[in-house]
Amino acid sequence: MPNADLEEPGIASESTEAPREIVAIGVVAVVLGVILRFSSRSPLWLDEALTVNISALPFGDMLEALRHDGHPPMFYAILHWWMQLFGEGDFAVRALSGVFGLAALPLAWIAGRRRGGALLGWLTVIVVALSPFAVRYSDEARMYSLVMLLVLAGYLLVDDIVRAGKDSWGRLLGVTAVTAALLYTHYWSLWLLSALGLVLLWSVWKPSSAQARRISLKVIAALVVGGAFFLPWLPSMLYQAANTGTPWAAATRPTTALAFTVQDYGSGLYSDAGFVLIALSLAIVLGIFGRATSTLMIELDFRTRPQVRTEALVAGAAFMIGTGVTFASNSAFATRYTAIVFPLVALVIAAGLSRFTGRLIRFAVVAGVSGALCVGGLWFSVEMRSQAADAARVILENSGESDLVVYCPDQLGPAANRVLGDDLEQVVYPTFDSPQFVDWVDYANRNAQSDPVAFANRVLAEAGPSRAIFVVWNPAYKTFESQCEKLIATLGSGRPAVDLLVAGGGEFYEHESVTWYPTTAAAK
């Protein structure tokens, strides 16, 4: 039973009732969480702008574009219809993720209540509402907020079936639908579903009742059927895996990935982030191993505590499988991929906070952690994710209608083009194509074979003496080592008068410089 571990002899009473002060913190957390989920005023960065551009395409063109992008289609299809209703402004396209983030809060409360009564329900809501990780991806035009919502929905369905024995056809079909939806939303869902399948297989193999084994087999069958619905997209996924990859970063060791992930769950990158990393790590340990022996003492039971043991096991196994496969295949890791396990980890963190049974001590701990999470969430909400607005502003202030804008590398194009608009001709290095999309197929090989000198000479020829040239560039992108600098140098040889309008850097997540090459007449 969910709360059986709270009645063990010799353990201090761990009440499942929520004191008024915890409820008050929870209400404030929900209000702040709602505000933070719709508060960003930053321009869209690369991934968001690409997502919007692909989603704006007709459905058939969208599917083909995704083959060259590296993601499954579900979020893009939903965003496509959302934009038909609410438009393509920055707030509108991000609001879809905000809605998913809000829908996750009541599900988080139900999940916590099942494992530890109203107290754990409110603690789980506090963590999910204020976690900078959940805040950021509820305020970003990407699929990760939808992933978290689907994981919570699937968790509640599986919990109903396995723990409560409610193995109705409706719930089993729900598991099938959530499985398919997860696979069509993000490929890392494969690792979560694999981990869940392994845990269920273990429950079938180990000594247990015939009913328990039968129920586990039903859930496994539901997962398999959900996977079968993914088969039509499988050829596209295999094509993406063979041709797109992650050329934008090197592989990350699983241990390093773990440290980055816990930090992002609790704080982001502001100056006091280390404190929150330590606090959440301690809460995870207490959630898995801790038990109160008095109002002032907590001991560690290394057999693990049953309250959230399975949740921690599934989350840990999914993380190890995902990071292990990623590292072994020399692919890049990003903490946002772990949206597949965040809801389960949030439940474990909340369980760790509940181990403090002294009322004043628990209030102090929960208030302190909530405050630290809120600071991180606020940091993410005010973070300027792209310097595209600065770049567009100086270009518009200094350009004529016939001037030419060049992006080096092409990854700077989607975000800057979204702010700049289409009045000026804009091309990207190395393909000379439109800045609205990035073709990730054979990306590293194509860049390695590119010639920045030849590209620069083509730009000079296209511009002639009467068109100014603006280059939006950043030399730090992987697979472009020294190429943008060579492009800049070659253009400078053809147009000696050079003015740096924007120096990239500062607090921007995605930064860029702007170099201006005036017309020949203006240079004189």
Select, from the ranges 109-113, 210-214, 255-259, 371-375, the one with the highest average predicted confidence (pLDDT). 109-113
Query: From its phi and psi, is residue 117 left (phi > 0), alpha (psi between -120 and 50) or beta?
Result: left
List own/partner pairs for 428-437 with CB under 8 A and 24 or more apart: 429/455, 429/483, 429/484, 429/487, 430/455, 430/483, 432/458, 435/405, 435/407, 435/410, 436/53, 437/50, 437/53, 437/54, 437/65, 437/68
What does the domain layout of the chain look like in residue ranges?
Answer: 4-382, 388-523
Supply φ then ψ for residue 513, to 5 degrees. Answer: -105, 160
| Helix (H/G/I), strand (E/B), else coil: 500 | strand
pLDDT at position 310 is 95
DSSP symbols for 237-272? HHHHHHHT--TTS-B--HHHHHHHHHHHHHTTTSTT
Q: Read off the pLDDT of residues 473-507 as tens digits, 9 standing for 90 and up.
A: 999 999 998 999 999 999 998 887 677 888 877 77
Model confidence at 13, pLDDT cuts 50, 70, 90, reads: very low
Query: H/E element holding 404?
Result: strand 404-408
Q: Which two tokens stand for residue 148?
A: 């978290």
pLDDT at 522 over 70: no
pLDDT at position 73 is 97
pLDDT at 88 over 90: yes
Q: Which amino acid is at 143?
A: M
pLDDT at position 504 is 77
pLDDT at 38 over 80: yes
pLDDT average, residue stretch 21-40: 95
Which of 253-257, 380-384, 418-422, 436-440 has the weakest average pLDDT? 380-384
Q: For the whole model, what pTM was predicted?
A: 0.93
Model confidence at 270, pLDDT cuts 50, 70, 90, reads: low
Place of tokens 């619905």: 229
Identify the CATH class of 388-523: alpha beta
Model confidence at 523, pLDDT cuts 50, 70, 90, reads: low
The rounded distance, in Å, linking the Cα atoms of 105 and 30 is 8
How confident is the prediction for the chain on average, in pLDDT?
Answer: 91
The rounded distance, in Å, linking the Cα atoms of 212 and 218 is 10
Q: Read off the pLDDT of residues 100-141 as tens digits, 9 standing for 90 and up.
A: 999 999 999 999 999 999 999 999 999 999 999 999 999 999
Model confidence at 309, pLDDT cuts 50, 70, 90, reads: very high
Asked if 401 contacts 428 with a C-beta cutoff of 8 angstroms, the reply is no
| Helix (H/G/I), strand (E/B), else coil: 13 | coil
pLDDT above 70 covers what percent of the chain?
95
Model confidence at 10, pLDDT cuts 50, 70, 90, reads: very low
pLDDT at position 268 is 63
pLDDT average, residue stretch 42-66: 96
Q: Read off the pLDDT of residues 419-458 as tens digits, 9 standing for 90 and up.
A: 999 999 999 999 999 999 999 999 999 999 999 999 999 9
List own/partner pairs for 323-330 with CB under 8 A and 24 or more apart: 323/252, 323/254, 323/257, 323/258, 324/254, 325/191, 326/251, 326/252, 326/257, 327/251, 327/252, 327/253, 327/254, 329/251, 330/250, 330/251
pLDDT average, residue stretch 363-381: 90
pLDDT at 273 over 80: no
Q: Read off the pLDDT of residues 164-210 as tens digits, 9 standing for 90 and up.
A: 999 999 999 999 999 999 999 999 999 999 999 999 999 888 877 88
Burial-class residue 405 by CB neighbours within 10 Å (0-12, 13-18, 19+): buried
Name the more confident of 434 and 245.
434
pLDDT at position 414 is 97
pLDDT average, residue stretch 321-334: 92
Model confidence at 9, pLDDT cuts 50, 70, 90, reads: very low
